[in-house]
Amino acid sequence: MPTVYAYDPLYGIPATRVDATFADAYAGTRGISFKRIDGSFHFVMQDQPQAFAEAVVDFLGR
């Protein structure tokens, strides 16, 4: 299951730490994959509409 999440350097946390947080939170979930969308905050679809649309199209194509 693809999981999209937002990231921006303005969070003040390194991207690698955010990546690890998501990986740890879902460690027991089978078949999960992650798609970080940089330059976005809570509303990924508004902050990075093209990247979000591509992630949705990729998901629907599976």
pLDDT for position 62: 73
pLDDT for position 1: 86
pLDDT for position 28: 93
Residue 35: count of CB within 10 angstroms of its CB:
15
Q: Is the pTM of this model over 0.75?
A: yes
User: pLDDT digits over 11-51, tens only?
Assistant: 999 999 999 999 999 999 999 999 999 999 999 999 999 99
pLDDT for position 16: 97
The tokens for 25 are 């939170």
